[in-house]
Structure formats: structure tokens, C-alpha cells
């Protein structure tokens, strides 16, 4: 591949470390599900993967979970592509410690193809994953890229001159609030990818309503989710952790950042009292998210972690990070808009596309949102039994119903 020997190891960054130490509970994988009509050229795709290694060589590396680094092995682009003759019931999971950080599962359909592209969450977050997908598409389509293009994985430049203010009043009032798991324990290990679609027309109405209240779609999704959780658990206060892309605070539009650069608003505390209308919840959520954004609460703890990473012994740091970055049984992430002008494949039409997190075991449930061609997909990935599947699918359906009912009631 023409890489120098000294480039055979890439050290992990501090936010990669967080993903690595939680792997026993939440295995660090992400997926992009794509449906295609047209003529997919698998040889061309394989070549595009190989070319992408000039910019992100770690896609062919393995991850050393003892030394916390990416290590070059003898893998090639063809090792990332898996052809499936029929719809498979086996999970699209693999060992990142012994195999590549990228896998592309391909299945032929009567009129097209289904691609599921899996990427290591050790290597990138959702935004970084999208950047890699756009890069892969550019290379597949034969577009020329700037010779100066380089991938940036460190977050030091994001942390310069960041002033983090104290927690909001709402956060302080919700310190003792916690959500119970919404899933029941199961010994069965069936793998499910569950989803509900918000159509373009429905999303246009919801977006128009959000604009009237000066809110974002993210505020709207969190509000609907919180209201359903409150009703399901018969509680008046809900706490939801919400990821935030740190790139947005110091945008580098000309940079490739296939990396983990996501902070988190640890506690978005929302009151859902009897008689509260959707707009009451939305206004509260919008105010809280704006205040936390202004106070840079999503950076909380990251500067300290960055300063001590590589200095404090790993076995000590693991305990500290697990105490600070506790996994909640109920979570949320909005990956945002998938740019359909950048996600294109020559001689193909992409008819559907959405991103998901990893398969979640009991007690974890994560609602994931992504939008492609103005169609929003709500989904969750889980390991469990049929009863567990139905209860989780019901949550997604209720969230969609909460959103669309609000839109209709305009």
C-alpha cells in the first residue's frame, strides 16, 4: 500500500478510548443501510476502498484493546467486502480486535442491491462515518480529490479557548432523576433492526411547526421521545443524554475528520406534567438545549480527559472514565441529514439510506434518527426475543405518532 513502516500503528485518541472501554456492554459498531437500483460495480467498489486507505488507512487495521491503538495487519480491500447470496439472519458483527474496522455486506435483489456498510465506532463517530462514506463515493465515482487532503483525528484544536459554564438549573433539579430500563430481560439472542419512517410530507409539516416555535428538529424529536418515555414509565420528569458534534463549534469544512469528535449533554432534564401540551414540552426542551449549548456543556470533562490521556495508566483511567461516562439504559442520538448530493454511486440510484448504532443488549435501548432525501428514519438495533422486539418497536411507533399527531394538530 506504499505506507511507511512507522505508520503501521496509529495511537487511539481520548474519545476512542471511551468507546473501547464500554465494548463489553455496547460493542463499538455503526451501520449505514443503503438500498440501490441500478448497476453496482463491486470491483469498482473494492478499488474505492483501497484508494480510501490513502486517507484513512485505519479502515484495514485491527484494534489492539490492550495497548489502545490501531495496528496494521495483512488485510486488503477485498477483506472488507462480504457477498451474501440471500437475506441473512446472522448479525452483521465482527471482532474489531482481529479484523478490519470496515465491512461492506452486499446482497443482490431482483431490481437492485442492498448494502450494509459497517464501521468501527473506535475509528469514527456518526459524522466521521458519513465523511468516510462521502469519500468512498467520490472515489467510486472517479472524482479527483485534493492532493493536500488529510484525515485529522485529534481533538486538541476543538478544545482551544473553550470556556465551559456551570450546569443549568434544570440539570441541577434533575440530578436524582433516572430512567428505568424500558426493555425486559431475555436470554434469547435474536438480532433485530427496527425502524419507522416519517415521510417527506410529514417531515415538512413537522419542520414548519418547529420553525414557528423557533425550535430545531432535534428539539422536536427529543420532546416526542421524552413524552412517550414519561407516559410509559408514568413519571413526570425524564432525563435523556444527547450527543453533540463538537465540530460544529469550530467548523473545519475543508478538513477530513474521520474520528470521534462527539461530546454529550449528559442530562437533558425534561418535565412532562399532566396537562402539558407538546408545545409546552418543546419550548422547555429548546430552552434547555440552547442554554447547554451556550454553556458548552457538551465539552464537560473532555479537556481533562484529553490532558491526562496517555499519562495516567490505562487501568486507572478506565475506572475514572467509566465513572464519569456512565452508560444510561435509555439513550438517543440524531445523526442528522445524510447529504444525497454527496452519497451517490455511478449508474445507481439510492432509493433508501439510514444510519444506525450498534446492536443493543438488555437493558439498553437507543432511539436513532437520520434523514435522507427529506425522509426521516427512526430506528433501534437490539438483541433479544420477539416480545422484546415488539415492545421496542412500539416505542418507535409511539414516538412517530407523537410527532405526526402534533403536526396534524397545527
pLDDT at 1: 41
Residue 320 has pLDDT above 90, yes or no: no
The confidence band for 203, taking pLDDT boundaries of 50, 70 and 90, is very high
pLDDT at 90: 65
311-318 long-range contacts, Cβ below 8 Å, gap at least 24? Answer: 314/68, 317/17, 318/21
Q: How is residue 124 annotated by DSSP?
A: -
Q: What residues pair up with 262 in beta bridges, in sequence order?
A: 245
Q: Once rounded to an integer, what is the mean pLDDT over residues 116-131?
A: 98
Q: Tens of pLDDT along 150-189?
A: 999 999 889 988 899 998 988 887 777 778 889 988 888 8
CB atoms < 10 A from the CB of 109, how many?
11
Contacts of 265 (CB under 8 A, 6+ apart): 241, 242, 243, 244, 289, 292, 297, 298
Q: Is the dihedral of CA 276, 280, 284, 289 positive or negative?
A: positive
Q: Tens of pLDDT along 220-261?
A: 999 999 999 999 999 999 999 999 999 988 876 668 999 999
Distance (Å, whole) CA 110 – CA 198: 26
Higher pLDDT, 144 or 63: 63
Q: Once rounded to an integer, what is the mean pLDDT over residues 91-114?
A: 93
Residue 6 has pLDDT above 80, yes or no: no
Per-residue buried b or exposed e for 67-77, using 16+ beta carbons within 10 Å of the residue's own CB: ebbbebeebeb
Q: What is the pTM of this model?
A: 0.94
Q: How is residue 111 annotated by DSSP?
A: S
3-state secondary structure of 222: helix
Residue 86 has pLDDT above 80, yes or no: no
Residue 89 has pLDDT above 60, yes or no: no
The confidence band for 289, taking pLDDT boundaries of 50, 70 and 90, is very high
Task: Tell me which H or E stretch contains 294.
Answer: helix 278-294
State the alpha helices, DSSP H only, in 53-92.
none
pLDDT at 88: 60
pLDDT at 87: 65
Whether a cis peptide bond, with omega within 30° of 0, leads into 40 is no
Q: Yes or no: say if 237 and 174 are a contact pair by the CB < 8 Å rule.
A: yes
Domains and CATH numbers, the chain: 7-140 (3.30.559.10), 174-339+357-408 (3.30.559.30)
Q: What residues pair up with 324 in beta bridges, in sequence order?
A: none
pLDDT at 253: 62
Residue 7 has pLDDT above 60, yes or no: no
Q: Yes or no: say if 379 and 399 are a contact pair by the CB < 8 Å rule.
A: no
Contacts of 324 (CB under 8 A, 6+ apart): 301, 305
Higher pLDDT, 35 or 267: 35
pLDDT at 5: 45
Per-residue buried b or exposed e for 219-238, using 16+ beta carbons within 10 Å of the residue's own CB: bbbbbbbbbbbbebeeeebb
Residue 122 has pLDDT above 90, yes or no: yes
The confidence band for 323, taking pLDDT boundaries of 50, 70 and 90, is confident
The DSSP-derived string for 15-49 is HHHHHHHTTTTS--EEEEEEEEEE---HHHHHHHH
Residue 107: phi, psi to the nearest 5? -135, 135
Contacts of 127 (CB under 8 A, 6+ apart): 245, 247, 257, 261, 262, 335, 336
Amino acid at each position: 500500500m506504499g505506507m511507511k513502516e512507522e505508520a503501521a500503528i496509529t495511537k487511539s485518541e481520548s474519545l476512542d478510548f471511551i468507546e473501547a472501554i464500554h465494548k463489553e456492554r455496547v460493542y463499538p459498531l455503526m451501520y449505514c443501510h443503503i438500498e440501490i437500483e441500478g448497476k453496482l460495480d463491486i470491483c469498482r467498489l473494492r478499488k474505492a476502498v483501497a484508494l480510501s486507505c490513502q486517507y484513512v488507512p485505519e479502515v484495514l487495521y485491527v484494534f489492539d484493546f490492550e495497548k489502545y491503538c490501531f495496528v496494521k495487519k495483512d488485510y486488503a480491500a477485498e477483506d472488507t467486502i462480504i457477498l451474501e447470496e440471500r437475506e441473512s439472519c446472522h448479525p452483521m458483527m465482527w471482532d474489531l480486535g482481529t479484523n478490519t474496522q470496515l465491512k461492506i455486506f452486499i446482497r443482490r435483489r431482483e431490481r437492485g442491491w442492498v448494502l450494509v456498510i459497517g464501521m468501527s465506532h473506535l475509528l469514527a463517530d456518526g459524522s466521521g462515518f458519513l465523511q468516510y462514506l462521502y469519500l468512498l463515493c467520490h472515489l467510486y465515482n472517479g472524482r479527483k480529490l485534493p492532493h493536500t487532503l488529510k484525515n485529522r483525528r485529534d481533538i486538541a484544536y476543538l478544545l482551544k479557548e473553550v470556556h465551559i459554564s456551570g450546569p443549568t438549573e434544570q440539570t441541577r433539579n434533575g440530578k436524582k432523576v433516572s430512567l428505568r430500563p424500558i426493555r425486559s430481560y431475555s436470554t434469547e439472542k435474536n438480532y433485530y433492526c427496527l425502524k419507522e419512517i416519517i415521510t417527506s410530507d410529514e417531515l415538512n409539516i413537522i419542520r414548519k411547526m418547529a420553525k414557528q416555535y423557533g425550535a430545531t428538529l432535534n428539539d422536536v424529536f427529543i420532546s416526542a421521545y421524552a413524552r412517550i418515555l414519561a407516559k410509559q414509565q408514568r413519571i413526570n420528569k425524564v432525563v435523556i443524554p444527547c450527543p453533540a458534534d463538537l465540530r460544529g463549534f469550530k467548523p473545519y469544512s475543508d478538513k477530513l475528520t474521520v474520528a470521534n469528535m462527539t461530546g454529550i449533554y449528559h442530562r437533558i432534564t425534561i418535565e412532562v406534567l399532566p396537562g402539558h401540551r407538546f408545545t409546552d414540552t418543546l419550548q422547555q426542551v429548546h430552552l434547555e438545549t440552547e442554554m447547554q449549548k451556550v454553556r458548552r456543556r457538551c465539552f464537560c470533562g473532555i479537556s481533562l480527559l484529553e490532558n491526562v490521556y496517555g499519562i495516567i495508566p490505562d487501568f486507572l483511567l478506565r475506572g475514572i472514565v467509566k465513572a464519569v461516562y456512565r452508560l444510561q439504559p435509555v439513550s438517543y442520538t440524531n445523526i442528522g441529514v445524510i447529504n444525497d448530493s454527496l452519497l451517490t454511486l455511478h449508474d445507481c440510484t439510492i432509493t433508501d439510506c439510514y444510519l444506525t448504532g450498534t446492536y443493543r443488549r438488555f437493558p439498553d435501548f437507543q432511539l436513532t434518527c437520520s434523514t435522507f432525501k427529506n425522509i426521516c428514519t427512526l430506528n433501534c438495533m437490539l438483541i433479544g426475543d420477539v416480545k422484546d422486539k415488539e415492545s421496542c418497536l412500539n416505542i418507535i411507533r409511539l414516538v412517530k405518532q407523537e410527532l405526526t399527531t402534533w403536526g396534524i394538530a397545527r
